[in-house]
Amino acid sequence: MNPQISIVIPVYNKDKCIEDTLKSIFSQTFTAYEIIIINDGSTDASEVEILKFQSEKIKYFKTENRGVSQARNLGIDKATGTYIAFLDADDIWFPNHLQNLVALVNNYPNCGIYATNYEFYFNENKIIKPKFKDIPAENWQGIVVDYFISSLEYHLVWTSAALIPKAIFATVGNFDEKITLGAGEDTDLWMRIALRYKIAFTTVVSAQYIMESSSKISSINTKKRTFPKLDKFKKEEKNNPSLHKFLNVQRTIYALKHKLVNDIDKFKFYYSEIDQKLLDFKTKILLKMPNSFLILLYNGMRKIKNSSFYFYLYTNIIKK
């Protein structure tokens, strides 16, 4: 009998993290799953750590380094489950995570995405739990009324907390492989799904985004990355004010990221598409600020780990 859930894990140089990630899977209360591990050309000891786990649930594939989108797409192709769960190799699930997702599937059939809430883990003294517009803060589950409005500050759907019926990929496509180095391939896919299908969500936190495991919100590799141009959504955007607001946030984020690394051409590309009427005053200042000042401000706030600016490229880019 095929497993109900296929867990797809792309791995690139995560030898310090992958053990804890896999242990969090094997601690799940729901056990009808298989694990599809795609070693995306790791050059560290990731393979050694993976092979320590001797389990018939694991299907291990090793490829040359082609990027996270290609790795996830290969995992989808190799999966035999009815549903696909994604887990990055440096994140953690709580023991009830899959059980929570299965409950959503049972309670709200025929959705395009099932997702739980999650938390950003910096250290034991600093854990941030996102809250979403028009979603009750505690003990709620149901069909999301407006995915785009609820995702304006924090993304309602986070990759390591999402479950997708495998059949969905046949209608909306897989992760866009033109988007590279984790520059928004997941956001692009969730948008495509949200435009066609319902999304079921629970506010129960059962996944953990480990912030200190790598430079996850660093702009170090911005110049090497290819971000979504968002043109594919222009037709829908004209008749969908919520999508327009959401895309405005994404364009602003991408513009600021490129400004931080002095990539002026790409900054101008995204900046030219921004609807200034939807921006708050602070964001307008950041966009107009000289590059050198923006870098000093950003690096200074990161040093003292001021969460209000630490997440500024992801939150508060909208007029309140």
Contact call for residues 187 and 158 (beta carbons, < 8 A): no
Distance separating alpha carbons of residues 187 and 16, to the nearest angstrom = 27
pLDDT band at 309 (very low <50, low <70, confident <90, very high): very low
Span 198-209, mean pLDDT?
A: 97
Per-residue pLDDT reduced to its tens digit, 267-281: 999 999 999 999 988
Query: If you write DSSP's letter for every residue of 104-150 in order, what string do you get?
Result: HHHHS-S-SEEEEEEEEEEETTEEE----TTS-SSS-EEE-S-HHHH
Phi then psi for residue 119, to 5 deg, are: -140, 150
Q: Tell me the whole-structure pTM to 2 decimals.
A: 0.91
Looking at residue 126, what is its pLDDT? 84
CB atoms within 10 A of CB 29: 12
Greater pLDDT, 220 or 172: 172
- Residue 251 pLDDT > 80, yes or no? yes
Q: What pLDDT, on a 0 to 100 scale, did the predictor assign at position 12?
A: 95
Higher pLDDT, 149 or 226: 149
Q: Binning pLDDT at 50, 70 and 90, where does residue 219 land?
A: very low
Average pLDDT value for residue range 1-19: 91
What is the mean pLDDT of the segment spanning 55-80? 96
Ordered by where they begin, the domains of the chain are 5-213 (3.90.550.10), 222-310 (no CATH)
Taking the C-alpha atoms of residue 171 and residue 177, their distance in angstroms, rounded to an integer, is 17
**Vertex 115 angle, CA 137 and 177, to 5°:** 130
What CA–CA distance (Å, rounded) separates 224 from 176? 16
Q: What is the mean pLDDT of residues 169-187?
A: 91
- Rounded to the nearest angstrom, the gap between the alpha carbon of residue 114 and the centroid of all alpha carbons in its chain is 14
pLDDT reading at 216 higher than 90: no
Cβ atoms of 176 and 225 within 8 Å: the answer is no
**What is the arithmetic mean of pLDDT over 255-269?**
91
What local confidence, expressed as pLDDT, does residue 1 receive?
54
- 314, 156 Cβ separation under 8 angstroms: no
Check residue 311 and give its pLDDT.
45
- 3-state DSSP assignment of residue 17: coil
The answer to whether residue 319 scores a pLDDT higher than 90 is no
Band (pLDDT 50/70/90 cuts) for residue 304 is low
Confidence (pLDDT) at 213: 54
In 173-290, which residue ranges form alpha helices assigned H by DSSP?
185-194, 234-238, 241-260, 264-271, 281-288
Average pLDDT score, the chain: 89
Q: Does residue 318 carry a pLDDT above 50? A: no
Q: pLDDT band for 174, please (50, 70, 90 cuts).
A: very high
Q: What is the pLDDT of residue 313?
A: 47
pLDDT of residue 218: 44
* DSSP three-state, residue 311: coil
First-to-last alpha carbon distance for the chain, in angstroms, is: 51
> Average pLDDT of 131-146?
93
Kindly tell me the burial class for residue 267, based on how many C-beta atoms sit within 10 Å of its own C-beta (0-12, 13-18, 19 or more). Answer: buried
E strand or H helix that includes residue 202:
strand 199-210
